[in-house]
């Protein structure tokens, strides 16, 4: 399954506003996208849920595995995670 590792770019990590932006983008895709912290034994979470994204506890600089059956979806969500979503 296509995947990549994205480094969290937002100063506050994937909390409230950044998680909401990522979840909104993922919800608009026609495929499921999942996220999990690199090296974590936890189950991946649905990227279309801001609440589940926040449960990752991903701070700025954390490495997040983005996975989906669609390479374009992986790239789109990874790019969002790597951007400073607090500045938008």
Helix then strand then coil, in percent of the chain rounded to 5, is 35, 20, 45
User: Could you confirm whether 3 is annotated as catalytic?
Assistant: no
Q: How far apart are CA 84 and CA 12, in angstroms?
A: 9
CATH of domain 3-82: 3.30.1340.10
Encode pLDDT of 36-54 as tens digits: 999 999 999 999 999 999 9
Among the options 6, 10, 14, 15, which is catalytic? 15
Q: What is the pTM of this model?
A: 0.94
Region 18-46: mean pLDDT is: 97
Residue 56 reports pLDDT greater than 70 = yes
50 touches 20 (CB < 8 A): yes
Q: Calculate the average pLDDT of the chain.
A: 95
In this prediction, residue 88 has a pLDDT band, given cuts at 50, 70 and 90, of low
pLDDT at 74 exceeding the cut of 70: yes
**Sequence spans of domains, the chain:** 3-82
């Amino acid at each position: 399954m296509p995947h990549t590792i994205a480094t969290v770019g937002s100063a506050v990590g994937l909390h409230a506003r950044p998680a909401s932006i990522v979840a909104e983008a993922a919800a608009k895709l026609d495929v499921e996208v999942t996220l999990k912290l690199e090296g974590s034994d936890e189950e991946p979470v649905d990227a279309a849920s801001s609440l589940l994204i926040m449960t990752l506890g991903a701070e700025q600089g954390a490495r997040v595995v983005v996975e989906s059956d669609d390479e374009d979806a992986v790239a789109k969500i990874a790019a969002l995670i790597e951007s400073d979503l607090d500045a938008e």
